[in-house]
Amino acid sequence: MSLACEAKQMLEDDGAFVDALLWETHARLAHFAETGEIASIDLGGLPMSGRDREALDSILGRGEVSAAVEVAGRSEVWETGFSSVWRVRHFGDGTIAADLIEITSCPSILAADRRDADNAARRLAEALEAKLGNAETLA
Amino acid sequence: MRHDETLAAEMQRRGVSRRAFLKYASYVASLMALPPSAAEALAEGLAAARRQSVIWLSFQECTGCTESITRSHSPTLENLMFDFISLDYHHTLMAVSGQAAEQARLEAMAANKGKYIVVVDGSVPTKDGGVYSTIAGISNLKMLEETLRDAFAVVAVGSCACFGGIPAAKPNPTGAVAISELAGGKPLINISGCPPIPEAMTGVLSYVLSFGKLPELDHLGRPKAFFGETIHDRCYRRPYYERGLFADGFDDHGARQGYCLYKLGCKGPVTYNACATLKWNGGVSFPIQSGHGCLGCSEPDFWDQGGFYRPLPTPLGAMGPALAGAAVAGAALGVGAALAARSHQKTYLAASEKEKD
Ligand code: SF4
């Protein structure tokens, strides 16, 4: 193999890297099953090509849950084919802003924060009062 | 602008949930290579913070730094930073001018005494009493001194503010100096680059806002999260460098094959910045990807280092085989590569110095 081909091969040869990531995921998943300790792996700083991501996601597959979150742009969250292993992908400006593997029962971006409930209760009351007001006006 | 309510309360008032903080914090943690577990602490810190008063001073500069931070962002995630700060003074961006603008600066200083952050782009001319650059009749020198007095910290953005940059290039007719020479002991962060990467600016401001302290800095006062590795450490052309495959011209066979640009003067091996990973224009590309070597714009005196197209003086292969494997792993590149590059940088600077003598 010529030097140029070898170097090109080095640029493209990415299978080992994805395998290492999957083994790390496995170790953390096993630990979560045993202790309940959640974990997350940030794919952002890793030198992953589009092909790497595809390879990773094709092995992890898709599980029972898929969700889209619309806050400050779009986020996509899905449980992989392996229970408790989630993929969380935040978009900004159309490109991936943060890309994570989360090992948890439910990624925190999906759960509503109780501290937002106060405001929600007030808004719901206002909506109901407005509805009541409309009904009275019509009557 | 209300500075009394928390950012969480302000966002809630606008119908935005706490998920926005969580998402933004994941983004910043990822940018700054913080452990993902830090994202929640970062989100809590941001939600509990008040709008950070920022006074932005533009001195001897080209406005490229302001362009970088304001134009490379979408009105979505990255732009949230502008909801977290109150830009109380920025003479290029603010609607008012003249006396009214200066009044806004003085009012923000009085209202946020000891708490505001001063961001500076541009160097400060010191020759002849600083007459070479004035704003509203006030010399940059005096304005900096006056504004820094009650500041919490100062962030120098761009190579002019960090190291003197182009105004300080030989023969430095105005006696331009870096902000560090005039900061008078105030906590200082240097975010160098010509211009600096916008994510580095927003990431650092978010960190300070959340945790109330400065991030870890390198020996030049730059946040290690963005300046901890060289361009060369993370360059995708690195396997070609390791194999000794170089472009000899901008239009030869090597250039078309995407070979390493070392012989065309690439300063990647001695330049600490995050262009190779964060890239520019929303992650589209960076100079080396576009076929041009790195100019080394985030390093001190980059303008006076003997020519952008002159190859670095250290013999090829000095960082060679030992790192070949690591180059593929990329992420695994760490201390070894950093040390090698650091020694490479020393040799380069020493050679440049010798040449000057
Ligand atoms: S010398 Fe420049 S082009 Fe070559 S690998 Fe290093 S940073 Fe990349």
Q: Residue B301's pLDDT is what?
A: 95
The first and second tokens of residue B90, run together, are: 């920025």
CA-CA-CA-CA dihedral for A115, A117, A118, A120, to nearest 10 = 140
Shared domain check, B219 and B330: no
Angular region, B153: left φ>0, alpha ψ -120 to 50, beta rest: beta
Instruction: Tell me if B214 sits within 8 A of B189, measured CB to CB.
Output: yes
Residue A75 C-alpha, separation from nearest chain B C-alpha, in angstroms? 8
User: In CATH, what number is assigned to the domain containing residue B174?
Assistant: 3.40.50.700
B177 backbone dihedrals φ, ψ, rounded to 5°: -130, 165
Shared domain check, B295 and B148: no
Closest-CA residue, ligand 1 atom 4, reads B260
Q: Residue A12's pLDDT is what?
A: 61
Give pLDDT tens digits for B227-282. Answer: 999 999 999 999 999 999 999 999 999 999 999 999 999 999 999 999 998 888 87
Dist. CA B266 → ligand 1 center (Å): 6
| B41 shares contact with chain A (CB less than 8 Å) | no
**Count: domains in chain B:** 2
The band of B54, judged by pLDDT with boundaries at 50, 70 and 90, is very high
Shared domain check, A20 and A86: yes
Q: Look at residues B227, B256, B278 and tell me which one is the last residue of a structural domain.
A: B227
* CA B60 distance to own-chain centroid: 17
- For A127, the domain range is 110-139
The band of B72, judged by pLDDT with boundaries at 50, 70 and 90, is low
Shared domain check, A117 and A50: no
Give pLDDT tens digits for B101-129. Answer: 999 999 999 999 999 999 999 999 999 99
Q: Residue B352's pLDDT is what?
A: 54
Shared domain check, A115 and A100: no
Q: Look at residues B211, B227, B243 and tell me which one is the last residue of a structural domain.
A: B227
Shared domain check, B294 and B216: no
Shared domain check, A75 and A31: yes
Which residues of chain A register pLDDT less than 70? Answer: 1, 3, 6-15, 139
Shared domain check, A115 and A97: no
Distance from C-alpha of B312 to C-alpha of B265, rounded to nearest angstrom: 6
Q: Residue B35's pLDDT is what?
A: 81
Shared domain check, B133 and B205: yes
- Residue B7 resides in a domain: no
In sequence order, what DSSP letters do the residues of B98-115 get, joined into one string? Answer: HHHHHHHHHHHHHHTTTT
Q: Residues enclosing ligand 1, CB less than 6 A? A: B 231-232, 235, 237-238, 241, 260-262, 266, 268-269, 288, 293-294
- For B300, the domain range is 231-356
Q: Residue B189's pLDDT is what?
A: 98
Q: What's the DSSP call for residue B323?
A: G
Q: Residue B16's pLDDT is what?
A: 84
Q: Residue B331's pLDDT is what?
A: 30
Angular region, B143: left φ>0, alpha ψ -120 to 50, beta rest: alpha
Q: Residue B345's pLDDT is what?
A: 52
The separation between the first and the last C-alpha atoms of chain B, rounded to the nearest angstrom, is 55
| B191 shares contact with chain A (CB less than 8 Å) | no
Q: Do B23 and A4 touch (CB under 8 A)?
A: no
Distance from C-alpha of A21 to C-alpha of B217, rounded to nearest angstrom: 29
User: In CATH, what number is assigned to the domain containing residue B343?
Assistant: 4.10.480.10
Residue B230 alpha carbon, nearest atom of ligand 1: 7
Shared domain check, A58 and A33: yes
User: Which ipTM was obtained for this model?
Assistant: 0.86
Shared domain check, A114 and A99: no
Instruction: Tell me if B154 sits within 8 A of B186, measured CB to CB.
Output: yes
Average pLDDT over every residue of B307-332: 53
- Residue B58 resides in a domain: yes
Shared domain check, A38 and A99: yes
Q: Residue B219's pLDDT is what?
A: 97
Q: Residue B357's pLDDT is what?
A: 46
**Count: domains in chain A:** 2
Q: Look at residues B181, B197, B227 and tell me which one is the last residue of a structural domain.
A: B227
Minimum mean pLDDT range among A56-70, B11-25, B180-194: B11-25
B125 vs B67, higher pLDDT = B125
Q: Residue B347's pLDDT is what?
A: 54
In chain B, which residues have their Cβ closer than 8 Å to the Cβ of A94?
74, 282
Nearest to A93 among B74, B242, B277 (CB): B74
Give pLDDT tens digits for B142-186. Answer: 999 999 999 999 999 999 999 999 999 999 999 999 999 999 999
In sequence order, what DSSP letters do the residues of B111-145 get, joined into one string? Answer: HTTTT-EEEEESBEE-GGGGTTSEETTEEHHHHHH
Shared domain check, B258 and B166: no
Distance from C-alpha of B202 to C-alpha of B80, rounded to nearest angstrom: 9
* pLDDT higher than 60, residue B341: no
Q: Residue A16's pLDDT is what?
A: 73
Closest-CA residue, ligand 1 atom 5, reads B238
